[in-house]
């Protein structure tokens, strides 16, 4: 008991010793498991479209940023309780989420979600479809009538389930599925129509933190205006991904 | 050595066989994976004594004659033991973090006029943040780690309290009566007679608790600590050539196999050490102790 | 919509009956209590069946581990070591992988990749290992005098085991076995959390608690509800096991009964 109090006190003092004004460092929270948007590279660092985008936005907004990873499940509660200041994790702008946090304008156009399967002539209406728990795709599958939803905790497992036959198809953001389908050597292919879900991807902020959101919003706008955002989209998400 | 590896691994796509594997196993990400074994061991090393402390305090509270204290001790033991540890981990860390920040907020920013809860947002003044936003990354990690330690300690403290409470009552009544007859005060009886004797009764339960604690560490990733399971999943998942220099299929099986070996080995070593400790604790005890030794060695083996 | 309507819609949702779509907005406490309670049925299902089946395997393992025969003792020792020495998390992972590959061999294994069967098997083996160790410990501490008395009365073989050794072993093991039962019920929350996928949103209590935490972005309501349910279950277990304990100890004088209770170590 005593030890822990001393430990915490020591930490608190350390934290205080490193004093400076508020918001001099902005902490960006991401999942680190959703390529090409964000993933952990071979060196163990956050990498991908959002890494490059986030760093550029911080530069334009003249902020110092730190990256941190958090489990997808608790990514919003940890933002609202102040463990980091922004979410930049391939998070689609939805009404549900807007009740709790504020988004910047989108930094990718509403991009389609798609189904990928091992056989091209699959009837999606009666198929078993895997999706990551708590995503807009999982919510969509539940409203598809005859389809059966199979939920997994992380995106890798949803793909693995299709490969091992547990699920007939996987539903996810098309940008996430494109490299998977390409690399599968013809085993997997897109099936059915793409579905437009959500209002594009944006950065999430606490509702009580409008100034910070404003800064990033302005930075995103400036990247849209000078075409650098489109260039980033092409570089990371591919030629076919919708642009502004 | 390191420099040699770095240059040799500059272009992994040209490598094959053993040299590919060597390069693969020495990426920064793998280093983080190896480091996380240290994190888990450190967590166990810190949590065990802290949890024991919590348990001891709670067992004493439960025995207390002051009823609010006794009521509190019993309530803590009963409630925390009744709840699955995952359910606890899923919301408790955020609550604990908010509690600490709120305390600091009250002290550091007394003239803050906005509410702490604004809708869903928990907002404290920036001087009360734990750790401060601009402190180094390692401070954030150390803070996350200490929150994990406290959470584990609270959960396992309740189980330890249960064991210690039983052990305190298992010390033969006659021993305490003799102490009182010699004119010792309650306090002296407790610290000089009861506490030294109870460990023999408590050790089988405590060593089992240690085994449970080891096996609860895969839940660490729920507490935001990047532990061995997090990295094993991250490394094992199939990787396409676009995002890594070392593309591979679904290798989670191999990484989890490594974890399995780690846990089995660790359990094996723990059992050996605990058996030796038990033999030592009962050594030289009266005939009842010898009898107890025979029994407990059988149980723990 | 009244709370009673919600109960009718969702009380059996975890089994696939009632309203197909889970609530999506305007979440009420009533919905959370009902759905998490509905999920509890799976926790109870896994807990009760695994415990009941595990009891018999545990007895066999305890006898195996105590056996003088090497070919009986070694497998029992290894089984207990592997299942007690590794986290349930990892056992679920391997079991799911193994069942998926067995499925390719024969349709006989189809149900095993679903939670209701596959997870039950893992929990059964896991609890058998832990209980087996507890029973083994108890078997080792059956008083020598009891066995000698049995010999004197001419008990041998099966009759001696059934009438003397086994009841005494159970009596000694019971407090620790109660703890094991509590732990097992807690462990059932891992089934959908890390082991097996949830199909058509049919999951256990933790699954629904997680769902609500995810949708309302507020973990402070669903998880305490879940905790409340588990405290109830734990109380029931302690009650039921306490009754059995009384029955097992009914022949003992009061003073010794007390001592038995106090010596209860936590075994797991």
Q: In this predicted model, what pLDDT tens digit does every residue of C58-74 receive, in sequence order?
A: 999 999 998 889 999 99
Q: What is the mean pLDDT of chain C?
A: 87
User: If you write DSSP's letter for every residue of B176-232 in order, what string do you get?
Assistant: HHHHHHTT--HHHIIIIIIHHHHHHHHHHHHHHHHHHHHHHGGGGGGGT---HHHHH
Q: Which residue of A has its CA nearest to B221?
A: A71
- With a CB-CB cutoff of 8 Å, which residues 17-46 of chain A face chain B? 18-20, 22-27, 32-33, 35-36, 39-45
pLDDT in tens, C5-36: 888 888 898 888 888 778 877 789 999 999 99
CA A14 from chain center: how many Å? 33
Contacts of C201 in chain A (CB under 8 A): 142, 149, 151
Q: Is B259 on the interface with C (CB under 8 A)?
A: yes
Q: Please, what is the average pLDDT of chain A?
A: 84
> What is the rounded average pLDDT for all residues in chain B?
83
Q: Is the pLDDT of residue A237 over 90?
A: no
Instruction: Kindly determine whether residue B84 and residue C90, on different chains, have CB atoms separated by under 8 Å.
Output: no
Whether pLDDT at C50 is above 80: yes
Q: Say whether pLDDT at C113 is over 50.
A: yes
**Residue of higher predicted confidence among A44 and A20:** A44
Q: What domains sit in chain B, N to C, each tagged with a CATH number?
A: 25-228 (1.10.3720.10)
Which position has the higher pLDDT, B85 or A6?
B85
- Which among B98, B137, B250 has CB closest to A66? B137
- What's the pLDDT score for residue B5? 54
The strand ranges marked E within chain A are 25-30, 33-34, 38-40, 46-47, 64-69, 86-87, 101-103, 112-117, 128-132, 148-152, 169-173, 189-196, 204-206
Ranked by mean pLDDT, the top range of A11-15, B160-164, C51-55 is C51-55
Q: Which residue of A has its CA nearest to C194?
A: A153
Q: What does the DSSP 8-state code read for residue C113?
A: G
- Asked if the Cβ–Cβ distance from B267 to C84 is below 8 Å, we say yes
Residue B187: how many CA atoms within 13 Å on its side-chain side?
Answer: 0
What pLDDT was estimated at residue B57?
95
B88–C227 CB contact, under 8 Å = yes
Chain B, 18 to 77: residues with Cβ < 8 Å from chain C are none
Do B60 and B195 touch, CB atoms closer than 8 A?
A: no
Nearest-neighbour CA in chain A from B112: distance (Å): 15
Q: What are the tens digits of pLDDT across the range C117-131? A: 999 999 999 999 999
pLDDT value, residue B6: 57
Query: If you average pLDDT over each of B190-194, B278-282, C73-77, C152-156, which comes out highest?
Result: C73-77
Q: Does position B286 have pLDDT exceeding 50, yes or no?
A: no
Query: Chains near A, with 3+ CB pairs < 8 A?
Result: B, C
> So what's the pLDDT on residue B20?
85
Instruction: Give the distance, in angstroms, between the CA of residue C239 and the centroid of all CA atoms in the same chain.
Output: 16
Mean pLDDT of B236-249: 80
- Residue of C53, C61, C54, C36 lying closest to C136 (CA atoms): C61
* Residue C130, pLDDT score: 92
Task: Collect all residues with Cβ–Cβ distance below 8 Å to C255 and sequence separation of at least 6.
Answer: none
The closest CB to that of C197, out of A80, A100, A151, belongs to A151
CA-based nearest distance A218→chain C, Å: 27
Judged against a pLDDT cut of 60, whether residue A17 lies above it is answered with no
Predicted confidence (pLDDT) per residue in B19-57, tens digit: 888 888 888 889 989 999 999 999 999 999 999 999 999
For testing contact with chain B, the best of C73, C85, C191 (most B CBs within 10 A): C85
Instruction: Choose the mutation target among A42, A161, A163 for the interface with B, i.e. most B CBs under 10 Å.
Output: A42
> Which of these, A53, A81, A58, A27, lies nearest to A206 by C-alpha position?
A81
Residue A175 confidence (pLDDT) above 50 = yes
State the pLDDT confidence band at A160, using cuts at 50, 70 and 90. confident
The answer to whether residue B117 scores a pLDDT higher than 70 is yes
- Supply the pLDDT for residue B287: 33
Whether the predicted pLDDT of A77 surpasses 80: yes
pLDDT cut 70: percent of chain A above it: 91
Three-state DSSP class for residue A86: strand
pLDDT digits (tens, 9 = 90+) for B142-183: 888 999 999 999 999 998 998 898 888 878 888 888 898 999
What confidence tens digit (pLDDT) does each residue in B60-81 have?
Answer: 999 888 999 999 999 999 899 8
Residue contact A150–C199, C-beta within 8 A: yes
Catalogue all structural domains in chain C, each as residue range(s) with its CATH number: 27-262 (1.10.3720.10)
pLDDT tens track for C167-220: 988 988 888 898 889 989 999 999 988 778 888 788 899 999 988 988 888 888
- Which pLDDT belongs to residue C256? 54
Classify residue A62 as left (phi > 0), alpha (psi -120 to 50) or beta.
left
Give the model confidence (pLDDT) of B189-226 as tens digits.
888 888 888 887 788 788 888 988 998 888 888 787 88
Question: Residues of B with CB below 8 A from C136's CB?
Answer: 298
Handedness of CA C15, C20, C25, C27 (dihedral sign): negative
Helix, strand or coil, per DSSP, at residue A240: coil
**Cβ <8 Å between A14 and B98:** no
Quote the CA–CA distance of C242 and C236 in Å, as a whole number.
10
Q: Is residue C206 less than 8 Å (CB to CB) from chain A?
A: no
Name all domains of chain A by residue range, CATH numbers in brackets. 23-109+199-237 (3.40.190.10), 112-196 (3.40.190.10)
Q: Are strands A101-103 and B117-118 parallel, antiparallel or unpaired?
A: unpaired
pLDDT digits 0-9 by tens, A101-137 = 999 999 998 878 999 998 888 888 888 899 988 888 9
- Using the structure block, give the residue that is written with the tokens 């460990």: B199
* Per-residue pLDDT at B267: 93
CA distance B228 to B33: 6
The answer for residues whose C-beta is within 8 angstroms of residue C146's C-beta and 6 or more apart is: C164, C168
Please determine, for residue A13, whether its predicted confidence score (pLDDT) is greater than 80: no
- Spatial CA neighbour of B86 closest among C95, C241, C219: C219
A22 DSSP assignment: T
Q: Which residues of B touch A41 (CB under 8 A)?
A: 29, 243-244
Share of chain A above pLDDT 90, in %: 35
């Amino acid at each position: 008991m005593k030890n822990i109090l001393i430990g915490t006190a020591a930490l608190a003092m350390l934290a205080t010793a490193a004093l400076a004004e508020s918001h001099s460092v902005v902490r960006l929270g991401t999942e680190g498991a959703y390529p090409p948007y964000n993933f952990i590279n071979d060196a163990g660092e956050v990498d991908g479209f959002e890494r490059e985008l986030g760093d550029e936005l911080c530069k334009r907004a003249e902020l110092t940023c730190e990256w941190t990873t958090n489990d997808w499940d608790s990514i919003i509660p940890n933002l609202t309780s102040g463990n980091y200041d922004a979410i930049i994790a391939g998070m689609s702008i939805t009404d549900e989420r807007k009740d709790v946090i504020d988004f910047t304008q989108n930094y990718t156009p509403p991009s389609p979600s798609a189904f990928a399967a091992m056989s091209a002539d699959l009837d999606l209406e009666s198929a078993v479809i895997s999706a990551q728990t708590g995503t807009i795709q999982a919510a969509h599958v539940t409203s598809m009538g005859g389809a059966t939803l199979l939920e997994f905790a992380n995106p890798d497992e949803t793909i693995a389930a299709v490969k091992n036959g547990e699920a007939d198809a996987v539903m996810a953001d098309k940008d996430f599925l494109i490299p998977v389908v390409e690399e599968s050597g013809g085993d997997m292919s897109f099936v059915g129509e793409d579905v437009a879900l959500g209002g594009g991807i944006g950065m999430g902020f606490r509702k009580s933190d409008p100034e910070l959101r404003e800064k990033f919003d302005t930075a995103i706008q400036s990247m849209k205006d000078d075409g650098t955002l489109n260039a980033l989209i092409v570089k990371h998400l591919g030629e076919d991904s919708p642009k502004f | 050595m390191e420099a040699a590896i770095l240059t040799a691994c500059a272009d992994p796509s040209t490598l094959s066989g053993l040299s590919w594997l060597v390069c693969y196993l020495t990426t920064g990400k793998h280093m983080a994976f190896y480091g996380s074994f240290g994190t888990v061991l450190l967590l166990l090393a810190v949590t065990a004594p802290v949890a024991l402390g919590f348990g001891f305090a709670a067992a004493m509270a439960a025995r207390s004659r002051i009823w609010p204290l006794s009521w509190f001790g019993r309530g803590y033991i009963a409630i925390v033991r009744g709840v699955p540890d995952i359910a606890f981990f899923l919301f408790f860390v955020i609550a604990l973090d908010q509690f600490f920040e709120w305390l600091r907020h009250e002290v550091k920013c007394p003239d803050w006029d906005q509410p702490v809860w604004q809708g869903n947002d928990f907002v404290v003044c920036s001087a009360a943040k734990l750790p401060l936003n601009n402190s180094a990354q390692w401070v954030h990690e150390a803070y996350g780690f200490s929150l994990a330690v406290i959470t584990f300690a609270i959960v396992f403290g309740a189980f330890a309290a249960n064991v210690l409470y039983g052990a305190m009552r298992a010390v033969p009544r006659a021993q305490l009566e003799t102490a009182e007859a010699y004119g010792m005060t309650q306090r002296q009886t407790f610290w000089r007679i009861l506490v030294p004797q109870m460990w023999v009764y408590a050790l089988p339960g405590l060593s089992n608790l240690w085994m449970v604690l080891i096996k609860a560490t895969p839940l660490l990733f729920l507490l935001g600590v990047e532990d061995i399971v997090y990295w094993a999943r991250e490394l094992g998942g199939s990787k396409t050539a676009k995002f890594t220099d070392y593309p591979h299929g679904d290798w989670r099986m191999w990484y989890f196999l490594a974890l399995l070996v780690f846990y089995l080995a660790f359990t094996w070593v723990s059992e050996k050490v605990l058996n030796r400790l038990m033999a030592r604790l009962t050594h030289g005890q009266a005939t009842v102790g010898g009898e107890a030794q025979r029994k407990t060695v059988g149980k723990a083996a | 919509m009244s709370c009673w309507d919600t109960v009718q819609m969702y009380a059996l949702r975890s089994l696939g009956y009632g309203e197909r779509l889970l609530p999506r907005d305007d979440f009420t406490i009533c919905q959370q209590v009902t759905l998490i309670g509905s999920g509890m049925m799976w926790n109870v299902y896994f807990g009760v069946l695994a415990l009941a089946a595990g009891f018999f395997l545990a007895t066999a393992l305890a006898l195996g581990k105590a056996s003088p025969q090497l070919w009986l003792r070694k497998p029992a020792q290894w089984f207990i070591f592997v299942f007690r020495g590794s986290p349930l998390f990892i056992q679920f992972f391997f079991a799911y992988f193994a069942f998926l590959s067995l499925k390719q061999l024969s349709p006989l294994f189809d149900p095993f990749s679903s939670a209701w069967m596959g997870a039950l098997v893992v929990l059964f083996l896991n609890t058998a290992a832990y209980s087996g160790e507890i029973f083994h410990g108890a078997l080792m501490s059956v008083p020598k005098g009891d066995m000698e008395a049995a010999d004197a009365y001419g008990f041998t073989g099966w009759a001696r085991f059934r009438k003397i050794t086994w009841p005494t072993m159970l009596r000694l093991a019971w407090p620790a076995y109660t703890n094991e039962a509590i732990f097992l019920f807690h462990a059932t929350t891992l089934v959908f959390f890390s082991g097996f996928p949830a199909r058509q949103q049919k999951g256990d209590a933790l699954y629904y608690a997680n769902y609500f935490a995810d949708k309302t972005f507020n973990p402070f309501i669903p998880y305490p509800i879940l905790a409340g349910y588990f405290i109830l279950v734990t109380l029931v277990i302690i009650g039921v096991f306490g009754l059995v304990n009384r029955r097992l100890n009914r022949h003992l004088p009061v003073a010794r009964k007390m001592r038995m209770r106090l010596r209860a170590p936590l075994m797991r």
